[in-house]
Structure 1
Amino acid sequence: MLKRIKNLLKDNLNIIAILLTISIAILSLMKVGKQPIQINGLDKIEHAIAYFVLTFAWLLALRKSKINAKLIVLCCFLYGIIIEALQVTTTSYRLGEILDVVANTTGILIAYICYLSFFKKNEAI
């Protein structure tokens, strides 16, 4: 059963990474109603988690390709900046914040560190 799940994920990692990229764009640019519970800094944690998942998915999807992992990290970073710029320029209801870019970058770097530490130890995977 686990082997089937592993094969299914391996075969669809590119699709998963693309869907995650599109989902982050949609969620970042859509109008969101007022949240019933306000917790300071929660949105920064959400940014870090979203970009951790995005970066890790792309690193896994392109692991066997000739694309350097640092280039994937750079692309995820630039994607986050583009999304923040689009929030400012294309919407009247969303704000682009420098702290969002910092949170995105934190998630990206944690994903990169986890990826390197996992695959350096388990190069046979």
Structure 2
Amino acid sequence: MLKHIKTLLKGNIFLIAILITISIAYLSLMKMPQYQPTISNLDKWEHSFAYFTLSISWLFVFYKKPQKKYLIVLVCIIYGIIIEILQQTLTDYRTGDYLDVLANSSGVLLGLLIFNQILKKNQLN
């Protein structure tokens, strides 16, 4: 079963990374319903998770080119900054927030950390 999942992901990881990238842009720029989260700063956790997913998916797309991983991390962070700027400038129902940029960046850096650990583990086996 695990082998089938690996095969499925391996052939489609580029498409998955594109879909994640588009989904983040869509969800970041669409009008969201108003809700009162019961967990404080829940949106920052959501930002971190989204950008963790973004970075790790792109890192796996280019995992055979480890020299590009820092470029991928930089591009993911810049993407997060651009999305925050677009929220501020294109919409009147969303606002850009530097704390969101920090949450996005922390998710990207966590993705890099986890990716490095996965590669390290796979090289030892």
Say whether the fold is shared (TM-score over 0.5): yes
SS of 2:109's partner is: helix
1:20-53 CA-to-partner distances (Å, cap 9, x unmatched) read 0000000000001111545320000000000001
- The answer for the alignment partner of 1:14 in structure 2 is 14
Q: How many residues align?
A: 125
Relative to the length of structure 1, the TM-score reads 0.93
- The answer for the alignment partner of 2:119 in structure 1 is 119
1:64-94 CA-to-partner distances (Å, cap 9, x unmatched) read 2476100000000000000000000100000
Comparing both structures, which one devotes a greater share of its residues to helix? 2
SS of 1:88's partner is: helix
Shift of 1:110: 0.6
Matched residue type, 2:39: I
SS of 2:123's partner is: coil
Relative to the length of structure 2, the TM-score reads 0.93
Matched residue type, 1:75: V
The separation in 1 between residues aligned to 2:38 and 2:2, in whole angstroms, is: 39
- Equivalences for residues 1-125 of structure 1 within 5 A: 1-65=1-65, 68-123=68-123
The separation in 1 between residues aligned to 2:124 and 2:65, in whole angstroms, is: 16
Change (3 A) 1:36 1:97: closer
Matched residue type, 2:57: A
Change (3 A) 1:21 1:67: farther
The separation in 2 between residues aligned to 1:107 and 1:116, in whole angstroms, is: 14
Root-mean-square deviation (CA, aligned residues, Å) is: 1.6
Matched residue type, 2:109: L
Could you tell me which runs of 5 or more consecutive residues in structure 2 were left unpaired when the two chains were aligned: none
